[in-house]
Amino acid sequence: MIIKTIPAGIYGANCYVIYKEDNKQAIILDPGGDSDMLIANIEALEVTPKAILLTHGHIDHVGAVEALSNRYKIPFYINEEDEKFMMSGTDVYGHLNRKADGYIKDGDKLNIANLEIEVIHTPGHTPGGVCFLVNDKVFTGDTLFQGSIGRTDFEGGNYESIIESIVNKLLPLGDNVEVYPGHGPKSSILYEKRRNPFLN
C-alpha cells in the first residue's frame, strides 16, 4: 500500500492519497483545499480515484471535496452527524452544495480500490469524527496528532469525549499501528502512549 501525503488548504491539512501499486486505484482522504494543486498531484501519480473519505466536516478538511468529486465523478462519504453541522452553516465547518453520497459509522467495513477500510467513530473534536484503519495504519484526522490531540473548543467539541475515543478506540489498536494525522508528521500508537502529554 502506498500513501501519498499532500498538505493542502490554508491550514496545511494532510490530504492522503492511498492506493495499491498493482492496480493504481485510489482513495482520497480529507481533501482540504487547493483543488488545482491536489488534482495536479493526483494526476502525477497516475492513479484512478474511486472515492473520497472524510474524517470530519471542518472546512480545512473538506474544502476541495466537491471539486474533486466532480472532476473524477466519484462519491464522497462522511459521518451524518458532521454533515448536519455543515448543512446548518455552523462556523468552522465546511459548507457543501450537496449532501454526501453515503454515510459512514462506527464498525463499517468498506472495500474500495481493493483496500479494506474499517471505520472507527471517534467523537470529541467533532460529534461525527471518524478514523480509518487500513491494515496497520490508522488515519486519525484531527482526533490524534503526534504528541497532541484535536481541539475541542469549537462547536460540537467535547474534551472528555476525545480522550475517551483515543483511550478506548485508538490505543487498543496496537503499539505497532502507524498514526497518520490530519496535520503534522506521522506517529505510532506506541509513541503516543509514551509521549503524548494528554494521555499521561
Average pLDDT rounded to a whole number, residues 98-106: 97
Instruction: Give the range of the structural domain holding residue 6, as residue numbers without chain letter.
Output: 2-199
Four-CA torsion 161, 81, 64, 1, nearest 10 degrees:
60
168-186 pLDDT per residue, tens: 999 999 999 999 999 999 9
Average pLDDT rounded to a whole number, residues 94-109: 96
30-87 pLDDT per residue, tens: 999 999 999 999 999 999 999 999 999 999 999 999 999 999 999 999 999 999 999 9
Q: What is the mean pLDDT of the chain?
A: 97
Write down the pLDDT at residue 43.
97
Q: Is residue 166 pLDDT above 90, yes or no?
A: yes
Write down the pLDDT at residue 10.
87
Tell how far CA 178 is from the center of its chain: 14
Write down the pLDDT at residue 70.
97
Write down the pLDDT at residue 124.
98
The domain tally of the chain equals 1
Average pLDDT rounded to a whole number, residues 133-159: 98
Domain of 165, CATH number, reads: 3.60.15.10
Tell me the whole-structure pTM to 2 decimals. Answer: 0.98
Instruction: Enumerate residues 6+ apart whose C-beta is below 8 A from 68.
Output: 28, 31, 35, 38, 39, 42, 49, 52, 74
Write down the pLDDT at residue 32.
97
Write down the pLDDT at residue 136.
97
Q: Which residues on neighbouring strands pair with residue 187, listed in sequence order?
A: 179
H helical segments located in 46-158: 59-62, 65-72, 80-87
121-139 pLDDT per residue, tens: 999 999 999 999 999 999 9
Write down the pLDDT at residue 196.
98
Write down the pLDDT at residue 30.
98
Q: Is residue 200 pLDDT above 90, yes or no?
A: no
C-alpha cell at 13: 491539512
